[in-house]
Amino acid sequence: MEYFLSITVTTLATAFVALLMLRPLSTRLGFVDIPNARTVHHGHVPNIGGLSVYLGMLAPVLFMDVDWQYQGLYILGVSIMVLTGALDDLKELSAKSRLLVQAAVSLLMLVLAQYPVSYLGEFPILGTFNIGGLGYVVGVFAIIGSINAFNMIDGIDGLAGSVALIALAQICLLLFIRGNTDLCLLALIVIVALIPYLILNLGLWPFERKVFMGDAGVMFVGFTIAWLLINATQSPSRYISPISAFWIISLPFMDILEVIRTRLKQGKSPFQADRQHIHHLFLNAGLPAKQALVAVLILATSTSGLGLVLELTGAKEWIMVLLFIILNAAYFHVKPHLGKLFKRWAVHPYPHDH
């Protein structure tokens, strides 16, 4: 108990101190978010939240007795991802450059860890569904997909961080129940490291100290969640079923699929920024940003929570797959109307924060 408490305190203190130290330097170093056509915040806001979360995670992990074949690889991979995100925050890298780095690092990690995403579950008639070496390709797409799903949902205060918190909490719970304390502890550390950032980002700190997550933070949480899920689903012990990984990040996953589908249908690049994400629908319907945040979190908790119940009750994987397909179809059909359903929550016609 003292061990867990010391790690928690170290993480919390490091992340909080990093925020307070990096924030005054952000303008000088160029780590600021400048308002554009897709954002509604005013002024230049420091986007060093993700760096503080990364440092909060790094401090305790470096002093833990870790399995360096896997956790050491995680530190290497996530550090490269965070560095790439930080460069993107400074210089705004092209989408192709970001994807190239994400793909290269993802493949390197999977090969070194010898963890291809090859086991996809147990199904009637098919039996064990294993795709062998193709799992490396699937794994690369899974990591890139996770990173960009959280990137695309990072549009209002607290959203990406809170959705990541929900996913990490479910991963942590499942790993704790199934007896993998090492991965559970890593998930817990990241949860704790996110708390100081969310306090400042949501304006819960008594003094005005707003910060954004930045691309470094999005790369951090997206990669971390993907790495935890790959380890949990592909290890010989099978701590989590592969389909449960999709349920855990169901809302970001469904939103990125629907947005990419819509953009391609309109003849646009899938990476062209616009205002078609789920939080934009709530904002356009007139909900203030904080109410839009609550609405999205209710949906995220409900969809991922259903998957958690199915996992814990031992539902057959084919049933979980079928239900997930039905959920996606329902989301694609209902999403355009979600804003209107929640419109009665609106207090004023348009949000005045990020």
pLDDT over threshold 90, residue 132:
no
Mean pLDDT of 223-233: 94
Mean pLDDT of 175-184: 90
Q: What is the pLDDT of residue 243?
A: 94
Mean pLDDT of 333-347: 63
Going by pLDDT thresholds of 50, 70 and 90, the confidence category of residue 41 is very low
pLDDT over threshold 60, residue 43:
no
Give the ranges where 92-180 is alpha helix by DSSP (H): 95-113, 135-152, 159-178
Bigger pLDDT: 86 or 26? Answer: 86
Q: What is the pLDDT of residue 42?
A: 52
Element (H, E) at 229: helix 214-234
Tokens of 280: 């934009």
Residue with tokens 């990093």: 18
Sequence-distant (6+) residues with CB within 8 A of 271 are: 95
- Round the average pLDDT of the chain to a whole number and report it: 83
Going by pLDDT thresholds of 50, 70 and 90, the confidence category of residue 82 is very high
- CB–CB of 211/227 below 8 Å? no
- CB–CB of 39/354 below 8 Å? yes
Maximum mean pLDDT: which of 67-76, 238-247, 287-296? 238-247
Q: What is the pLDDT of residue 93?
A: 82
Burial of 197 (0-12, 13-18, 19+ CB in 10 A): buried
Which residue type sits at 143? I
pLDDT over threshold 80, residue 144:
yes
Tens digits of residue pLDDT in 290-318: 888 888 899 899 999 999 999 999 899 99
Bigger pLDDT: 332 or 245? Answer: 245
Q: What is the pLDDT of residue 45?
A: 81
pLDDT over threshold 70, residue 38:
no
pLDDT over threshold 80, residue 163:
yes
pLDDT over threshold 90, residue 174:
yes
Going by pLDDT thresholds of 50, 70 and 90, the confidence category of residue 352 is very low
Going by pLDDT thresholds of 50, 70 and 90, the confidence category of residue 349 is very low
